[in-house]
């Protein structure tokens, strides 16, 4: 490749040259965040705060991987929309299920309460 | 302009020959990953629902899990994602040799992750006496992490096939999209583990 052609190609895609160091920096950041998550679970704070911190940290990791390693940042917006449709549907289903089964009425019956009930024969038998 | 310089001008993020401007293989992979999100979403919520209301005889997850081993697995999978990203970057620049080394390292990291998972499963079954059928924790845990492990195994097989294919001389910068699609799948396996690590393991230690 001639020098002029090479510089022309780099000028067209300046990001390509810096991606290697960018990827390494992101990977180091992800490793540090994982370490922070580990430390977080042993901190003597209220549970809801720790859960919030863990959710934020894992969301940051998630977003770094999909936008940089999976190239969503440089790809067409449609790829992001397509993936987020699945993600939002999955997230909404999880939220709905956890709300439904988190209610007091959804708690499973105690075994002692359940045993006599199963012994009752149905009216049509 | 030399042929290599002409190839260097390939835009890997846009394909003018398709109506969406996105390469069809990439679009297919994103659609598949979106559907796989829902699949894992259901498995994770099933696990969390049963953790909300654990039966009285269920083993304490904190006593069963080994956070050191899982953290090591997480680190390994993150590093495999880095190597996969470097492999895609290498093939997009036409650097076949660098791509092969990156893929080989990714395979190695994938195998280490699987080895850790097999060790963990063996430990749970034979040391902690938690199987897929003797407790609700075991059922949801083994189903979720086992499904993820199968995804990793499929990824390792795909990577190995691509590595062998690269030696046939038919893989070049022009079909970098094949490596990129495989990379998308591998990164997805990584992001699913990011969620599992927090939702299944770390939350038990609070």
Res. A122: pLDDT tops 50:
no
DSSP SS3 for B1 = coil
Share of chain B above pLDDT 90, in %: 76
Are A71 and B180 a contacting pair at CB < 8 A?
Answer: yes
Angstroms from A117 CA to nearest CA on chain B:
18
User: Chain A within 8 Å of B21 (Cβ-Cβ)?
Assistant: yes
Are A58 and B4 a contacting pair at CB < 8 A?
Answer: no
Span B101-109, average pLDDT: 98
In A, which residues are within 8 Å of B16 by CB distance? none
Q: Which residue has the higher pLDDT, B78 or B57?
A: B78
Rounded CA-CA distance A62/A27 in Å is 12
Listed residue (B15, B168, B169, B31) closest to A80, CA to CA: B31
Q: Which residue has the higher pLDDT, B57 or A70?
A: A70
Res. B7: pLDDT tops 90:
no
Span B67-95, average pLDDT: 95
Show the tokens assigned to A66.
Answer: 């999909």
The contacts of residue B173 (CB under 8 Å, 6+ apart) are: B7, B10, B91, B92, B93, B94
**Quick one: pLDDT at residue B180?**
95
In A, which residues are within 8 Å of B14 by CB distance? 76
**Quick one: pLDDT at residue A113?**
57
pLDDT tens by residue, B35-52: 999 999 999 999 999 888
Q: Which of A54, A65, A76 sits opposite B22 (nearest CB)?
A: A76
Best interface-test mutation with B: which of A79, A97, A107 has the largest number of B CBs within 10 A?
A: A79
Span A3-16, average pLDDT: 49
DSSP string, B110-146: HHHHHHHHHHHHHIIIIIS---TTT-HHHHHHHHHHH
Res. A34: pLDDT tops 90:
yes
Listed residue (B45, B36, B39, B42) closest to B200, CA to CA: B45
**Quick one: pLDDT at residue A103?**
78
Domains (ranges, CATH) in chain B? Answer: 15-52+62-205 (1.20.120.80)
Q: Which of B78, B86, B188 sits opposite A31 (nearest CB)?
A: B78
Res. A46: pLDDT tops 70:
yes
pLDDT band at residue B33 under the 50/70/90 scheme:
very high
Are B34 and A87 a contacting pair at CB < 8 A?
Answer: yes
pLDDT tens by residue, B145-194: 999 999 999 999 999 999 999 999 989 888 899 999 999 999 999 999 99
Q: Looking at chain B from residue 64 to 93, which residues have their Cβ under 8 Å from any Cβ of chain A?
A: 67, 71, 74-75, 78-79, 81-82, 84-86, 88-89, 92-93
Rounded CA-CA distance A40/B147 in Å is 28
What is the ipTM, given to two decimal places? 0.89
Listed residue (B174, B184, B38) closest to A68, CA to CA: B184
The CA-to-CA distance between both ends of chain A, in Å, stands at 87
Lowest mean pLDDT among A1-15, B50-64, B70-84: A1-15
**Quick one: pLDDT at residue B5?**
44
* pTM for this model (two decimals): 0.86
pLDDT tens by residue, A61-85: 999 999 999 999 999 999 999 999 9
In A, which residues are within 8 Å of B184 by CB distance? 70
């Amino acid at each position: 490749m001639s020098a002029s052609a090479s510089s022309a190609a780099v000028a067209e895609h300046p990001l390509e040259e810096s991606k290697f160091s960018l990827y390494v920096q992101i990977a180091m950041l992800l490793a540090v965040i994982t370490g922070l998550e580990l430390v977080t679970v042993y901190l003597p704070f209220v549970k809801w705060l720790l859960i919030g911190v863990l959710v934020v940290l894992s969301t940051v990791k998630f977003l770094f991987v999909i936008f940089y390693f999976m190239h969503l940042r440089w790809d067409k917006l449609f790829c992001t929309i397509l993936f987020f449709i699945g993600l939002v549907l999955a997230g909404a289903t999880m939220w709905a299920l956890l709300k439904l089964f988190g209610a007091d009425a959804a708690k499973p019956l105690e075994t002692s309460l359940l045993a006599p009930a199963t012994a009752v024969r149905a009216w049509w038998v | 302009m030399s042929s290599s310089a002409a190839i260097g001008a390939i835009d890997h993020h846009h394909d003018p020959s398709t109506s969406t401007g996105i390469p069809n293989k990439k679009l297919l992979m994103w659609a598949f990953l979106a559907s796989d999100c829902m699949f894992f979403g259901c498995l994770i919520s099933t696990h969390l629902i049963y953790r909300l209301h654990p039966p009285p005889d269920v083993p304490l997850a904190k006593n069963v899990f080994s956070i050191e081993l899982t953290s090591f697995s997480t680190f390994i999978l993150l590093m495999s994602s880095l190597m996969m990203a470097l492999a895609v970057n290498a093939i997009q620049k036409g650097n076949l040799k660098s791509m092969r080394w990156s893929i080989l390292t990714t395979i190695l990291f994938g195998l280490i992750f699987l080895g850790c998972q097999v060790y963990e499963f063996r430990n749970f079954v034979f040391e902690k006496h938690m199987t897929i059928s003797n407790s609700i924790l075991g059922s949801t845990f083994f189903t979720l992490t086992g499904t993820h492990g199968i995804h990793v195994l499929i990824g390792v097989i795909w990577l190995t096939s691509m590595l062998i294919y690269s030696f046939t001389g038919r893989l070049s910068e022009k079909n970098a999209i094949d490596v990129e699609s495989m990379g998308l799948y591998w990164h997805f396996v990584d992001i699913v583990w990011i969620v599992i690590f927090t939702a299944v393991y770390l939350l038990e230690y609070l």
